[in-house]
Amino acid sequence: MGKNWKNILKESITRPEQILEKFNIDVKPIKAVAEKYPMFVSRYYFNLIEDVDDPIWKQCIPSPLELQDPYGCEDPLNEEEDSPVPGLVHRYPDRVLMCVSNSCATYCRFCTRKRRIGKPSIVFSDDIYLAQIKYIRENPSIRDVLLSGGDPFMLSDEKIDFLLGKIRAIPHVEILRIGTRTPCTLPQRITPKLCRILKKYHPLYVNVHFEHPREITEESEHACGLLADAGIPLGNQSVLLKGVNDDPEVMKSLVQKLLKIRVRPYYLFQMDLVKGTYHFRTRVEVGLKILESLIGWTSGLAIPRFVIDAPGGGGKIPLQPNYILSINDEKIVLRNYEGKIFVYPQIPMEKEGNDFLLSSRSVNAVIP
Ligand X SMILES: *Cc1c(COP(=O)(O)O)cnc(C)c1O
- Positions touching ligand X (CB under 6 A) are 89, 91-92, 95, 97, 146, 316
Considering the complex, state which of residue 56 and residue 307 has its C-beta at the smaller distance from ligand X. Answer: 307
- Residue 114 Cβ vs ligand X, minimum distance, rounded to whole Å: 15
Task: Decide if 104 is catalytic.
Answer: yes
Considering the complex, state which of residue 143 and residue 252 has its C-beta at the smaller distance from ligand X. Answer: 143
Which uninterrupted H or E stretch holds 225?
A: helix 218-229
How far apart (Å, rounded) are the C-alpha atoms in residues 195 and 118? 27
Task: Decide if 91 is catalytic.
Answer: yes
Q: What does each C-alpha distance from 305 to 28, 180, 266, 342 come to in angstroms?
A: 40, 19, 6, 24
| Catalytic residue (one of 166, 199, 252, 316) | 316
Backbone angles phi, psi at 136, to 5 degrees: -65, -40
Considering the complex, state which of residue 102 and residue 112 has its C-beta at the smaller distance from ligand X. Answer: 112
- Residue 232 Cβ vs ligand X, minimum distance, rounded to whole Å: 16
Task: Decide if 195 is catalytic.
Answer: no
Considering the complex, state which of residue 83 and residue 182 has its C-beta at the smaller distance from ligand X. Answer: 83
Task: Decide if 143 is catalytic.
Answer: no
Considering the complex, state which of residue 58 and residue 91 has its C-beta at the smaller distance from ligand X. Answer: 91
Task: Decide if 107 is catalytic.
Answer: no
| Catalytic residue (one of 45, 58, 60, 91) | 91
Which uninterrupted H or E stretch holds 10?
A: helix 5-10
| Catalytic residue (one of 44, 60, 95, 115) | 95
Q: How many residues does the chain have?
A: 368
Question: Cβ distance 272 to 77 under 8 Å?
Answer: yes
Task: Decide if 335 is catalytic.
Answer: no
Considering the complex, state which of residue 215 and residue 309 has its C-beta at the smaller distance from ligand X. Answer: 309
How far apart (Å, rounded) are the C-alpha atoms in residues 25 and 252? 32
Task: Decide if 262 is catalytic.
Answer: no
- The string of DSSP letters for 113-162 reads TTTTTTS-SS---HHHHHHHHHHHHH-TT--EEEEESS-GGGS-HHHHHH
Considering the complex, state which of residue 97 and residue 230 has its C-beta at the smaller distance from ligand X. Answer: 97
| Catalytic residue (one of 60, 99, 104, 184) | 104
Task: Decide if 246 is catalytic.
Answer: no
Cα 364 to chain center, whole Å? 29
| Catalytic residue (one of 113, 177, 242, 275) | 113
- Residue 233 Cβ vs ligand X, minimum distance, rounded to whole Å: 13
Q: What does each C-alpha distance from 64 to 9, 27, 68, 240, 271 come to in angstroms?
A: 25, 11, 7, 20, 19
How far apart (Å, rounded) are the C-alpha atoms in residues 326 and 290? 23
Task: Decide if 99 is catalytic.
Answer: no
Question: Cβ distance 236 to 210 under 8 Å?
Answer: yes
- Residue 192 Cβ vs ligand X, minimum distance, rounded to whole Å: 28
| Catalytic residue (one of 257, 272, 275, 281) | 272
User: HEC profile for 303-340?
Assistant: CCEEEEEECCCCEEEEECCCCEEEECCCEEEEECCCCC
- Residue 169 Cβ vs ligand X, minimum distance, rounded to whole Å: 21
Task: Decide if 108 is catalytic.
Answer: yes
- Residue 66 Cβ vs ligand X, minimum distance, rounded to whole Å: 23
- Residue 319 Cβ vs ligand X, minimum distance, rounded to whole Å: 14
226: amino acid identity, one letter: L
Which residues have a catalytic role annotated?
A: 91-92, 95, 104, 108, 111, 113, 272, 309, 316
